[in-house]
């Protein structure tokens, strides 16, 4: 099962589609989100977002900070 993931900057969409998982550099430590995850909102620190795409290929995005909102069906990352 996949989750719907949006990764966006103020002026552009970086990723918008289905993913198997996303691993994020949270301020309290790295964490991975899968479909069905409990809802929460948290801040992100400098590091790398790793998106495991639907085809199981990893896509990496370096960030300096950000915010993530997780729901059971969708994850939105603002960087």
CATH assignment of 3-78? Answer: 2.60.15.10
What average pLDDT does this structure show over 51-57?
Answer: 89
pLDDT band of residue 5 (cuts 50, 70, 90) is very high
- The average pLDDT across 4-26 equals 95
The proportion of the chain whose per-residue pLDDT surpasses 70, expressed as a percent, equals: 100
**pTM score > 0.85 for this model?**
yes
Mean pLDDT taken over the chain: 95
C-alpha closest to that of 36 among 79, 77, 1: 1
With vertex at residue 37, the alpha carbon angle to CA 22 and CA 68, rounded to the nearest 5 degrees, is 55
Mean pLDDT over 9-23 rounds to 94
Q: What's the CA gap between 48 and 39, in Å, rounded?
A: 22
pLDDT surpasses 90 at 38 = yes
How long, in residues, is the chain? 79
**DSSP-assigned beta bridge partners for residue 26:** 29, 44
Could you state, in order of their start, the residue ranges of all structural domains in the chain? 3-78
């Amino acid at each position: 099962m996949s989750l719907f993931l949006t990764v966006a900057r103020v002026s552009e969409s970086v990723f918008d589609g289905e993913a198997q998982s996303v691993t994020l550099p949270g301020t309290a430590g790295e964490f991975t989100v899968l479909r069905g995850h409990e809802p929460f909102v948290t801040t992100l620190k400098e590091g790398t977002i790793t998106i495991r795409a639907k085809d199981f290929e990893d896509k990496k995005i370096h960030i300096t900070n950000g915010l993530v909102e997780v729901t059971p069906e969708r994850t939105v990352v603002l960087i």
